[in-house]
Amino acid sequence: MNIVKKCYEKMKDGTLKRMVQETIWIYAYAKRYFPQMVLYTALGMGGILLSFGSSLVSKDMIDIITGQRVGELMKYFLVTIGLAVVSLLFTQITTFLNMIISQKVDNELRQEMFEKIMVTDWESITKYHSGDLLARWAGDTSLIASGLLNYIPNAIMALLKFFGALFIVIRYDWTFAVFALLGAPVSLFMSRFLMSRMRNNNDRSAQMQARMSGFNQEAFVNIQTIKAFDLVPLYISYLKDIQKDYLEMRVDFQKLSMKTSIIMSVVGMIVSYSCYGWGIYRVFSGAITYGTMTLFLSMSGNLTAALNTLISLVPSVISMTTSARRLMDIEEMPTEDYSKRSEALAFADAHKQEGISVTLEQMSYTYHTGTHVFEKTGFEAHPHEIVALVGPSGEGKTTMLRLLLALLKPQEGRCILSSNTGDALEIAPYSRQLFAYVPQGNTMFSGTIAENLRKVKPEASEEELRQVLQMACAWEFVEQMPDGMYSSLQERGGGISEGQAQRLSIARALLRQAPILLLDEATSALDVETERRVLRNIMKDTYPRTCIVTTHRPTVLSMCDRVYGIAGKQCVVLSQEEVQKRIMDF
């Protein structure tokens, strides 16, 4: 009744349902590798059968020796060596195959999860800390990849070892089976004991791993800020606190493991010594030979080992289902729509001569946190224009660019790209290839300057790189570097100033030659003269580009064709008087 009650409780709180869903999810990956898993299992089963054969031959050898039948000894000795060599080959091949399959599953699962994370709705994915995502992508995928071969195949092999050993024992002396199976009830009880505790432990472990990963990532990425504010002692203290919590979690886990190990070891000793005692009695009574006794002892060890293997699979299964749930959380998030990529490219190609306009009509947007940013507002920008967005911090300038990039989706309104011929394309994730974007902050990658630029156009020639560097006023410092455009940058553009990094980011965006260029405070680290030079170069370029900038610095507003003020959930065109007032008040 107690078992029924526990099962009912788990059904009621959804635990069993979740485990079934997680197992089905794992099976969807496992069935892709069914032939390899069958081969792996067959090799493992072959190795087990060889071990049984070796045990039977060893029995006969002992009987031959104790019976002083020396003439047959050499034959059995050679058979024993042959079986040992074949068993060694089976073991090595199985290990090698295990590595190949696990690594292949790991690579493909990571690739799929990476792609899934990248195409997940931007606002949804930002709910997760990047350290948590990294822990799921790296740790959980590897656990599932290795677990696929430590679950079904190993369970089948353990069952073969158990029933094979039991068959041999019963065939030679059924009484030994009673002693060999003494530990079975305890083993079954321990598996139930583990099942009820391991899932909570694995949840705690996953949360701690994500917390540790997140802390490490943030600390190393922001090491300059930590040093600048002299926060090193504080962060060391943070690390100690996290490590303390992690240690407590590991201690709790180890206590559980110790208790389980002690109980199972004691049970194993009781079974072994009982088998020894019964075997000695049966030999002295003449019921069995010395060889048969050694065979029984070997098979009792196999029976115990098989039961322990099956029990050890319980934590493995629970860990796999826990990891599966963490990956399923990502898979279940809404994904972006890239179904019309070819249509977007065709639209851009059809209007590359005259350019593309951007229009937002009656657009409303509210973040999932409840922050209401826009209410039925509008905006437009056209080819060969530089349109500015100004306003207080936090009023929606960056949000507007995210809406244009379809990183965010408005709850109401119409957001389109259009041509002067009347053709239109909805702004969506697949339309991002028509945009070039320079966000706030340093967006350089480690590698050479040329490699950074060519990320948006791998086939770009050196002359093209030079041209965009000149347009962004970056060539003047790049040509002075030891290796020019092939000079290496450190992580996040280390080794150059913020202003230089901004100019390189603008050059990269210009190299893409997208119809629409978005500059989000992209010139904030430049002096006024350089800022104006960069914008003049963009204006003089004959490419029909629509340029949209956000800025806190009104010094360039006089160069813009139109200025929108963002405030009070609205985006409205400022008059010349209002623009001049902002310039004068700056």
Predicted local confidence at residue 560, as pLDDT: 86
Q: Would the CA dihedral through 511, 514, 520, 521 be positive or negative?
A: positive
* Token representation of residue 120: 């997940």
C-alpha to C-alpha distance for 65 and 58, rounded to whole angstroms: 11
C-alpha to C-alpha distance for 192 and 187, rounded to whole angstroms: 9
Least confident of 9-18, 380-389, 452-461: 9-18
Predicted local confidence at residue 68, as pLDDT: 53
User: Could you report the per-residue pLDDT of 143-176, keeping only the tens digit for each?
Assistant: 887 777 667 788 888 888 888 888 888 888 777 7
**Higher per-residue confidence, 381 vs 59:** 381
Query: Residue written as tokens 């500059």?
Result: 519
**Which neighbouring-strand residues pair with 417?**
358, 425
Residue type, 95: T
- CB atoms under 10 Å from CB of 482, counted, come to 7
Highest mean pLDDT among 49-58, 105-114, 248-257, 371-380: 371-380
Predicted local confidence at residue 69, as pLDDT: 59
Pairing verdict, β 516-520 and 546-550:
parallel
pLDDT over 90 at 135, yes or no: no
Q: What percent of the chain has pLDDT over 70?
A: 87
Give the CATH number of domain 341-585.
3.40.50.300
User: Could you report the per-residue pLDDT of 193-219, keeping only the tens digit for each?
Assistant: 555 566 566 667 777 777 777 787 778
∠ CA 190-191-192, nearest 5°, is 90
* Token representation of residue 116: 């899934």
Query: Residue written as tokens 């997760």?
Result: 128
* Token representation of residue 327: 């990956």
* Token representation of residue 529: 């003269």
User: Could you report the per-residue pLDDT of 297-336, keeping only the tens digit for each?
Assistant: 778 777 777 777 777 777 777 778 888 888 888 888 888 8
DSSP 191-226: HHHHHHHHHHHHHHHHHHHHHHHHHHHHHHHTHHHH
Task: Name the phi and psi angles at 410, rounded to 5.
Answer: -65, 150
The overall average pLDDT reported for the chain is 80
Predicted local confidence at residue 179, as pLDDT: 67
Quote the pTM value.
0.71
User: Could you report the per-residue pLDDT of 75-118, keeping only the tens digit for each?
Assistant: 767 777 777 788 788 778 878 877 887 788 788 888 888 888 88
pLDDT over 90 at 466, yes or no: yes
Selected from 1.20.1560.10, 3.40.50.720, 3.40.190.10, 3.40.50.150, the CATH number assigned to the domain covering 13-331 reads 1.20.1560.10
Count Cα atoms within 13 angstroms, Cβ side, for 370. Answer: 0
Residue from 318, 313, 339 nearest 23 by CA: 318
Q: Tell me the three state secondary structure of residue 267.
A: helix
Q: Express the helix, strand and coil content of the chain in percent, nearest 5 each.
A: 70, 10, 20
Residue from 373, 349, 371, 353 nearest 363 by CA: 373
Predicted local confidence at residue 185, as pLDDT: 66
Domain ranges of the chain: 13-331, 341-585
Q: Would the CA dihedral through 7, 8, 9, 14 be positive or negative?
A: positive
Measure the N-to-C terminal CA separation of the chain; round to a whole number of Å. 79
CB 586 within 8 A of CB 554: yes
User: Could you report the per-residue pLDDT of 343-353, keeping only the tens digit for each?
Assistant: 989 998 988 88
